[in-house]
């Protein structure tokens, strides 16, 4: 199961896009969103590297 994001807390830095190269995350209107959550390998790199901790496991 892919992690969740609190979009209102996202600062649009793009860290999640750059640390996870499978194409799960993209930026749209300066906010991260899961473009392809089915590609998530559940490695946790996006959760661990988000500087504002808006990506989390549910």
pLDDT of residue 34: 93
* Nearest CA among 57, 56, 53 for reference residue 9: 53
For the cut 90, the answer to whether the pLDDT of residue 12 exceeds it is yes
More confident residue, 14 or 21: 14
Second-level CATH architecture of 4-56: 2-Layer Sandwich (3.30)
pLDDT of residue 58: 85
pLDDT of residue 16: 94
pLDDT digit string, tens, across residues 16-55: 999 977 889 999 999 999 999 999 999 999 999 999 999 9
> What's the whole-model pTM score?
0.87
* DSSP assignment of 29-43: TTEEEES-GGG----
């Amino acid at each position: 199961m892919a992690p969740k994001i609190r979009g209102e807390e996202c600062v649009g830095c793009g860290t999640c896009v750059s640390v996870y190269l499978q194409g799960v995350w993209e930026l749209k209107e300066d906010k991260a969103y899961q473009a392809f959550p089915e590609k998530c390998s559940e490695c946790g790199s996006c959760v661990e590297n988000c500087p504002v901790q808006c990506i989390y496991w549910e």
